[in-house]
Structure 1
Amino acid sequence: MLADPVKVQIPKSYETLPVKDIKVSHYPENAPEATGVIVVTLNRPKQGNAFTLQMMKDFELVYPMFDLDERVKCVVVTGAGKLFCAGADLDIGFPSAGERERLVDHRDSGGRLNLAIYRCRKPTIVALNGSAVGLGMTLGLSAAIRIAHASSKYGFVFARRGITMESNSSFFLPRLIGYSNALYLLTTGDVYRGDSKHFGSLFQEVIEDQPGVLKRALELATTIAERTSTLAGFMNRELMWRGKPSAEETHLLDSAVLYHMFANKDCAEGVQSFMQKRDAKFTATLEEDGPPLYPWFNEVDTGSRPRLDRTAAKSKL
């Protein structure tokens, strides 16, 4: 029997959360409460922002909050210092024989972090502001957008460390860049410049200026937060990632979701704001306005999905 879902309490400010290996900031800076754009910074610059179990726990703490907090519209993930992420922290190492779980019980920590991003209805932009390898590459595969630095080095180096790909990358990577590019990167296990042809379209934008990577990510995030419907954007991503296997089945699903969205208040607002030449104010939520057939897929529960603690939320009003 599955445990009851964890109830999430939404903080007034994300900058006060007890995270350790990441930093959570509002954008624009110095805002006293949560803003439409939230910045998550991998915050171990002396270790090249190498991944730790604590980092996973930090992501699993904040991302369910982002998912349920209607103030948050877009998340930007970046790294402190000159590197984005040096992969798993090899100084910490891997579990010893005495610490090992049964294979059936183990849940890859990078995969748990990746799923936290994937399951969040708010889009994530990953600003790979410096070099990244291994888990530093795979943690952003479930994000909506990835931006890289042209001359920094990136690679899926698993074969050179004697391990296999992780963080659900066998699902995401070939779907993003095709099997040919994915096989080349994984078979060589080498690192390449951000503007290398071998990455295909993995990085939707590649920036020559290193500080410009985060700057561009924040520009995109602001535009998304101010001009797009959170519900419509989430449904679009769900339709692509969790679609049907045939054109006919896809047609039936697309038709049902679209027909529901035609009668949605965000659709009415989108049309009216366009006709009136003003900025739209989208307010639809998944809980109140989502299509009744959602989820149309069988949910696999790798750990109960968090829900908003409405009692605590009301007590703060």
Structure 2
Amino acid sequence: MDFESYKCLSFARRGRILTIALNRPERLNAVDGVMHEELSRVFFDAARDEGSDIIVLTGAGRAFCSGGDFGWLQEMIDHPSEYHKAGTDARRIIMSILECDKPIIAKVNGAAVGLGATLSLFCDVIFAREGGSFGDPHVSVGFVTGDGGAAIWPQLIGYARAKEYLMTGDMIPATEAARMGLINHVVPANELDARVDEFVDRLHSGAQQAIRWTKASVNIGLKQLASSILDASLGYELLTNYTDDHREAVDAFINKRKPVFGGAS
């Protein structure tokens, strides 16, 4: 892999384990346009990386990912053509995770919000630290849950629960997320690295082709589902980029006030 071509992602190797870290810790790893574009290609690159068999996805600093950077959201309001490109990249992000035959393990070291939650939930096995949380508050900023949440949440916790959390944007503590089956494991913060290393080493000691092709087999249906849902949900999200409610939500956040939504029009 050409690690030097990435500015907002960092990389580390431990033997044949490749760790990819979202690396904007000063912004709680909020996704801006540069990181979003890099995410649209990193899993394709990692799939072809001859030096690794297993991928760990995590965040630098005290958060996994706080969602979309509001400066970037404002930029897409001001220049809608930027969203058109982001929509194409968003589809590539999800499909590249699903098409990568190497196991991808999420090490969620804090809050996983919006696209951050989506990234973690599309991974194959998800470990989170106690005190972490998961949520997809797209609606809180007047956005449709377009970047994959509408596809993955119902598969993990059922439609009724998924709609409740996606329509409210409520955050879920990691312990509750594990209890309801949204994620696999929640562990004490000081044990997170060791537990992930232990699991990854166990996978790596197994039959690699059998493990990869098992993942590929399980993902067949999920790829079909995600592909069809993304085509619609990203289109709906694009439409909400033009709404007064979205403009109001972004302006309210930037100016540190509560948004006042106007309702359906």
Give TM-score scaled by structure 2 length. Answer: 0.75
* Residues 17/224 of structure 1: CA separation in 2 closer, same or farther (3 Å cut): farther
The one-letter amino acid paired with 2:59 is G
Q: 2:12 aligns with which of 25, 30, 41?
A: 25
> Shift in Å at residue 232 of structure 1?
2.0
Shift of 1:54: 1.6
Unaligned runs of 5+ in 1: 1-10, 28-34, 245-295, 303-317
Change (3 A) 1:88 1:199: farther
Where 2:12 maps in the other structure, the secondary structure is: strand
The AA in structure 1 aligned to 2:113 is V
Q: Provide the rounded CA distance (Å) in 2 between the counterparts of 1:131 and 1:195.
A: 13
Q: In structure 2, the residue corresponding to 1:78 is in which secondary structure?
A: strand
The one of 233, 236, 240 equivalent to 2:218 is 240
Contact 1:129 1:214 in 2 (8 A): no
Which residue pairs with 2:57 in the alignment?
77
Equivalent residue letter for 1:202? L
1:223 to 184, 202, 209: 202
Q: Residues 302-317 of structure 1: matches in 2 within 5 Å? A: none
Deviations 1:252-297 (A, max 9, x none): xxxxxxxxxxxxxxxxxxxxxxxxxxxxxxxxxxxxxxxxxxxx9x
* Alpha-carbon distance between aligned partners in 1 of 2:29 and 2:86, rounded to the nearest angstrom: 24
Deviation at 1:23, TM superposition (A): 0.4
Question: What secondary structure does 1:58 align onto?
Answer: helix
* Corresponding residue SS for 1:59: helix
Aligned ranges for residues 145-224 of structure 1 at < 5 Å? Answer: 145-196=125-176, 200-207=180-187, 209-224=188-203
Unaligned residue ranges in structure 2 (runs of 5+): 231-265
* Larger fraction in helix: 2
The DSSP-based 3-state class of the residue aligned with 2:70 is coil
- 1:120 aligned residue: 100
Q: Percent identity?
A: 25
TM-score normalised by the chain length of structure 1: 0.63
Amino acid at match of 1:25: A
1:210, distance to aligned residue in structure 2 (A): 1.7
Quick check: 196-205 or 170-179, which moved more? 196-205
Match of 1:99 among 55, 74, 80: 80
What residue number does 1:288 align with? none
- Counterpart amino acid of 2:118? T
Distance 1:204 1:91 in 2: 33
- Output aligned runs, 1:30-69, within 5 Å: 35-69=15-49
CA distance change for structure 1 residues 243 and 194 in 2, over 3 Å: closer, same or farther? closer
Alignment partners' CA distance in 2, 1:138 and 1:212: 24
Task: Give the SS at the match of 1:23.
Answer: strand
Q: CA deviation at 1:97?
A: 5.4
The 5-angstrom pairing of residues 283-294 of structure 1 reads none
Q: Is the 8 A contact 2:127 2:183 kept in 1?
A: yes
1:129 matched residue in structure 2:
109
Q: How many equivalent pairs are there? A: 227
Mapped contact 1:114–1:140 kept (Cα < 8 A)? no
8 Å Cα contact 1:50/1:87 also seen in 2: yes
Deviation, structure 1 residue 133: 1.1
Once the two structures are overlaid, the 10-residue window that deviates more, 195-204 or 144-153, is 195-204
CA contact (8 A) 1:21 1:43 kept: yes
Q: Partners in 2 of 1:110 and 1:225 — Cα distance?
A: 30
**Deviation at 1:197?**
5.5
Residue pair 2:11, 2:18 contacting (<8 A) in 1 also: yes
**Which residue of structure 1 aligns with residue 261 of structure 2?**
none
Q: Deviations over 1:204-242 (max 9, x none)?
A: 0011x224223322221222122232x322322232232
Describe the superposition over 1:60-111 as per-residue Cα deviations: whole angstroms up to 9, x where unpaired.
44322321234311100111111111101112224135433797x8735443
